[in-house]
Amino acid sequence: MQTKQKIFIVDDDQDMIDFLSTCLESNDYKVQATSDARDAVEKILKIRPQGIIVDLMMPEKDGFELVRDLRQEKSLDSTKIIVISSKTYEFDRRRCADLGADGYITKPLNPQTITQQIRRILDDQIDMTFWGVRGTLPVPGEKTLKYGGNTSCISLEIPGENLLIFDAGSGIKALSDKMMEWNRYPVIGKIFISHPHWDHINALPFFGPMFNQGNEFEICGASHCDISMREMISAQMDGVYFPITLKEFAARVYFRNLAEEEIEIGEVKIATKLLNHPGKCLGYRVTYKDRSICYITDNELFNEDSDFYNPFYVKGLIKFIQGTDALVTDTTYSDEEYLSKVGWGHSSVSQVVKLAHKAEVKNLYLFHHDPDQTDDDIDEKFKAAQRLLLELKSNTQCIAPCEGDVVRL
Ligand SMILES: [Zn+2]
Ligand SMILES: [Zn+2]
List, as ranges, residues with CB under 5 A of the ion ligand 2.
197, 298
pLDDT in tens, 226-258: 899 999 999 988 878 888 888 899 999 999 999
Mean pLDDT of 15-36: 94
pLDDT in tens, 305-330: 999 999 999 999 999 999 999 999 99
Q: What percent of the chain has pLDDT above 70?
A: 100
Q: Where are the domains of the chain?
A: 6-122, 127-408
pLDDT in tens, 253-277: 999 999 999 999 888 999 999 999 9
- Residues 81 and 70 sit within 8 Å (Cβ to Cβ): yes
Mean pLDDT of 175-184: 87
Which residue in 52, 46, 60 sits closest to 8, CA to CA?
A: 52
DSSP letters spanning 33-45:
EES-GGGHHHHHH
Name the pTM for this structure: 0.91
pLDDT in tens, 73-120: 999 999 999 999 988 888 898 899 999 999 999 888 888 889 989 999
CA of 136 to the centre of ligand 1 (A): 5
CA of 128 to the centre of ligand 2 (A): 22
SS3 content of the chain, % helix, strand, coil (to 5): 30, 25, 40
Query: What is the 3-class SS of 107-169, one letter each residue?
Result: CCCCCCCHHHHHHHHHCCCCEEEEEECECCCCCCCHHHCCCCCCECEEEEECCCCCEEEECCC
pLDDT at 188: 87
Domain 127-408 sits in CATH at 3.60.15.10
CA of 197 to the centre of ligand 2 (A): 5
Which residue in 252, 260, 132 sits closest to 202, CA to CA?
A: 132
CA of 301 to the centre of ligand 2 (A): 14
Mean pLDDT of 140-148: 97
Average predicted confidence (pLDDT) for the chain: 94
Ligand with the closest atom to the CA of 367: 1
pLDDT at 71: 95
CATH fold of 6-122, please? Rossmann fold (3.40.50)
pLDDT at 2: 65
CA of 297 to the centre of ligand 1 (A): 7
Ligand with the closest atom to the CA of 202: 1
